[in-house]
Amino acid sequence: MRDAGITEQHKDILAELANIGTGNAATALSQMLDHEKILLEVPEVNISPLQHVPESLGDPGQKIAAIMMEAACDELELTILLALPLPATLSLIDQLLPEGLEPLGEMGRSLLMELGNILTGSYLNALSDMTGLTFTLSPPGLGLDMAGALLGSVIADKAMLEDSFILIKTTMHILSREVEGNLLLLPSAGSLHKILARLGAQ
């Protein structure tokens, strides 16, 4: 998506959308973690050239778990990534996986996919309430690797041809564990204006 036509007002609306969506996702996560307190940062809405997308989660060489899903409503498409740095990944698995199972074995990986599914589903539930749109969601894909390689693969796997992207990122902090995770939204070209129009933006 080119940055043409994205105003400060649009960014404000998108940030609010992300705030409410991530709020719902954080509530879901908190429920899964026996009501632990989860704080949200103010969402960042950035227009990033393709070349800098792999750095959008920080150091492109750091190991993260990324759960990728695609939400769709008619021709509107949103790629949603739950990105968890390794400490957060292991801490969540430690609490949620029954004892005796290998943290990053088959069941641990399945848990991460389900976590992506639940948080993304919750995010979309809020988006649906606000826009009146009904989204379908693809089954999750999980990657555990360098952040930059994962983000590059998202762009390549989805054959996104844009030279710049709107990235809508919200960071969640699980206070007692001192770990954080991100929810990252990448709307496909054209999708953004449809969402904005739906919300009555000029």
Partner 1 sequence: METTYVYIADLAVSQNEGLLVTIGLGSCVGVALYDAKRKIAGLVHILLNDSKQYLRDRSNQFNPAKFADTAIPELIKAMEERGASRGALVAHLAGGSQLFDYKFDGVGIGQKNIEAARAKLKELGIAILSEDTGGDYGRTMKINAGSGEVIISSLSREKKLTFINPRGVGSD
Partner 2 sequence: MGKKTVLVVDDTAFMRMTLKNILEKNGYSVIGEGEDGLQAIELYKELNPSLVTMDITMPNLDGIKAIEEIIKHDAGAVIIVVSAMGQKALVIDALNAGAKDFVVKPFQPERITEALQKVSRG
Helices (H), the chain: 8-32, 86-96, 106-131, 147-157, 191-198
Q: Pick what 53 binds: partner 2, partner 1, none; C-beta below 5 to 8 Å, kind-dependent.
A: partner 1
Residue with tokens 């709020």: 23
**Any contact of residue 63 with partner 1 (CB under 8 A)?**
yes
Q: How far is the CB of 119 from partner 2 (least distance, A)?
A: 8
Question: Which of 118, 149, 155, 199: binder of partner 2 (CB under 8 A)?
Answer: 118
Q: How far is the CB of 134 from partner 1 (least distance, A)?
A: 23
**Any contact of residue 114 with partner 1 (CB under 8 A)?**
no
- Phi then psi for residue 126, to 5 deg, are -70, -45
**Any contact of residue 117 with partner 2 (CB under 8 A)?**
yes
CB closer to partner 2, 142 vs 146: 142
Q: How far is the CB of 111 from partner 2 (least distance, A)?
A: 4
In the numeric block, which tokens belong to residue 180?
């954080």
Question: Which of 3, 94, 145, 178: binder of partner 1 (CB under 8 A)?
Answer: 145
Closest CA to 94 of 174, 25, 156, 38: 174
**Any contact of residue 40 with partner 2 (CB under 8 A)?**
no
In the numeric block, which tokens belong to residue 110?
């399945």
The separation between CA 158 and the C-alpha centre of its own chain, rounded to angstroms, equals: 16
Residue with tokens 């988006």: 127
Classify strands 136-137 and 44-49 as parallel, antiparallel or unpaired. Answer: unpaired
Distance set, CA 84 to CA 28, 75, 99, 100, 198 (Å)? 16, 29, 21, 23, 31
Candidates 48-56, 76-84, 103-111, 186-194; binding stretch for partner 2 (CB under 8 A): 103-111
Residue 46 pairs in a beta bridge with 167
Q: Which residues bind partner 2 (CB under 8 A)?
A: 28, 31-32, 97-98, 106-107, 110-111, 113-114, 117-122, 124-125, 128-129, 134-140
Q: Which residues bind partner 1 (CB under 8 A)?
A: 2, 50-54, 60-61, 63, 66, 68, 109, 139-143, 145-157, 159, 161-163, 189
